[in-house]
Amino acid sequence: MPKPASRVRQDAYEAVFGALAHPARRRVLLAVYFNGGAMTAGEIAAMFAHAWQTTTRHLQVLEAAGLLTHERQGRMRIYRIDRKRLALVSDWLAHFQTPVKHRTEGKQDVRNKQTDSRQGEAAKARSA
Amino acid sequence: MPKPASRVRQDAYEAVFGALAHPARRRVLLAVYFNGGAMTAGEIAAMFAHAWQTTTRHLQVLEAAGLLTHERQGRMRIYRIDRKRLALVSDWLAHFQTPVKHRTEGKQDVRNKQTDSRQGEAAKARSA
DNA sequence: CAAATATTCAGCAATATGGCTGAATATCGT
DNA sequence: ACGATATTCAGCCATATTGCTGAATATTTG
């Protein structure tokens, strides 16, 4: 049984959001992008104060997330950004564009809804 | 000296991206949003298999990131989503819309650029 | 007020993350 | 082949994260 597509998707979100959670990695993506989409590992590492072995690892995280790809070019490695992958983030964000009757100010609604659907499952879920 | 606005911004990105890095937290945001923008802590906790104290903490992370706010309503707490905060993410993503002459296929360019700007600063930055 | 309900606070343990240093690997120039 | 260059691999350690359990707090209800 091949792993279901939904699972893959799930992991992809995981990887992408996880990768974006670190400032150094966000910076790498921006830098690579503004450098025309590609930079060598050395150029990238040079942007940071930390040991570049550390950058190497960040690059691996970004690559594992599919946000970067690399390719050797002689003795150096060129990292290239894959903008398509960032679309996963916009896709996720797009959910919040879905129109939903937004009762953000209708505090009572929540209160009432709560009062009768509340602890049925909650308690069960908890005590399990 | 009040903390500079840029710093705040910086931390905000940190917090928001960090908060979105966990699947449970992304799920909370979606659930709250589709529930009309507000849910009680109990309703939210009921969605998860883990102990709800764990959810409590996730909620705190989301709130610290400014993605949720809460308010008491008797003995329960209503969590409300703040969609504006998600805009930080779109803002960040928007950078990748900036037109840049993208030589993603122009491998040679990178190679050459590399050859003469590369290790000057890189070496310095490293050996420091 | 006591019991029940709703939810957080505190502290623990396991795991994950990120930075460091010291090899190791691969390619280039001579 | 040798030394320099470019970069990753491995392993260590400190800190952060996440899940758990047990206690504490606030509010409602009888």
State pLDDT tens for residues B33-45.
Answer: 999 999 999 999 9
Contacts of B107 in chain A (CB under 8 A): 38, 71, 73, 78
Each residue's pLDDT tens digit, A61-92: 999 999 999 999 999 999 999 999 999 999 99
Secondary structure element (H or E) that encloses residue A57, with its range: helix A52-64
Q: Is residue A72 a contact partner of residue B8, using CB atoms and an 8 Å limit?
A: no
Q: Which residue is nearest to nucleotide C28 (CA to C1')?
A: A75
pLDDT band at B118 (very low <50, low <70, confident <90, very high): very low
Structure tokens at A118: 């509340």
pTM of the model: 0.81
- Residue A77: CB less than 7 A from any atom in strand D: yes
- Of chain B, the end-to-end C-alpha distance in Å amounts to 30
Each residue's pLDDT tens digit, B70-106: 999 999 999 999 999 999 999 999 999 988 876 554 4
Q: What three-state secondary structure class fits A51?
A: coil
Using 70 as the pLDDT threshold, list the residues of chain A that sit under it.
Answer: 1-7, 102-128
- Contacts from B44-50 at CB under 8 Å and sequence distance 24+? B44/B79, B45/A122, B45/A125, B45/A126, B46/A121, B46/A122, B46/A125, B46/A126, B48/A125, B48/B24, B49/A125, B50/B24
Strongest mean pLDDT among A4-8, B20-24, B97-101, B111-115: B20-24
- In the chain, the amino acid numbered B79 is Y
* pLDDT for B59: 98
Give yes or no for residue B9 having a pLDDT over 60.
yes
Closest to A21 (Cα-Cα) out of A69, A68, A65, A79: A65
Counting residues of chain B whose pLDDT is more than 70, the rounded percentage is: 73
One DSSP character per residue, B11-38 reads HHHHHHHHHHTSHHHHHHHHHHHHTTSE
Q: In which order are the strands placed within the sheet that holds A68-73?
A: A38-40, A76-81, A68-73
Identify which has the larger pLDDT, B116 or A55: A55
- In the chain, the amino acid numbered B39 is M
Q: What three-state secondary structure class fits B2?
A: coil
Q: Which of A33, A47, A74 sits opposite B96 (nearest CB)?
A: A33
Nearest-CA residue of chain A relative to B95?
A30
Structure tokens at B94: 């928007």
* pLDDT for B8: 73
Nearest-CA residue of chain A relative to B11?
A23
* pLDDT for B100: 81
- Residue B70: CB less than 7 A from any atom in strand C: yes
Q: Which of B90, B100, B114 sits opposite A40 (nearest CB)?
A: B114
